[in-house]
Structure 1
């Protein structure tokens, strides 16, 4: 089993990774950091079509996740997590990854939003909480 840390490219990545590392230490598990690119973001990363290559195996795509984790961990002495970058709907991809890895927990950083904001724009955190095959730890931020 692993602890899945769902990270984005924001200041929320560091506390999510820290909480995931704390949980992982308590359960003697590994941490997997997952970043999901939406297809529109992928177009900005890839300027050429790579025939026959899985997008998540692409060096530039994988570097995005590695760079986010590197910035989030900074000078930490904790073990580096395994990094995975996926492409698609963030909530669906995070939940699918958690299922594939038989995750013990999924750690995600949510924002406090008004009920109207949730209704109009949806919430990746909320969707992961409903879709995840593993318990979800929400690191409340903002």
Structure 2
């Protein structure tokens, strides 16, 4: 009887260890999947922010624009028609790219590491640098 009781205890311990290994394996798989999911979600969010930012800028740079000026990574836009405001500013504040027009502030995107703007002749280049990805777009601003 004692021998049977001992083998039963070993069997139970074996099942416990096997169950623990299976649970550990599934947890590692789940954590890896969630990490990949979060990375993909961050990538898509940054891509969406960049697309929305560039489309908003395209509309404001190509409609009713009188002049623009780039000074110390701040883009000033003067418009002939009071659509979003007569005078606008595009600049980075902390990890956000903000658009200031009149007394209103609009967030264009979040999670930025840096924004680099430069002008080459009549072309304005804007580079949005996120944690994992960088997007750059050029706007031809000749009248």
**TM-score, normalised to structure 2's length?**
0.23
**TM-score, normalised to structure 1's length?**
0.23
Which structure is larger by alpha-carbon Rg, 1 or 2? 2
Q: Which has the higher contact order (CA 8 A, sep 6+)?
A: 1
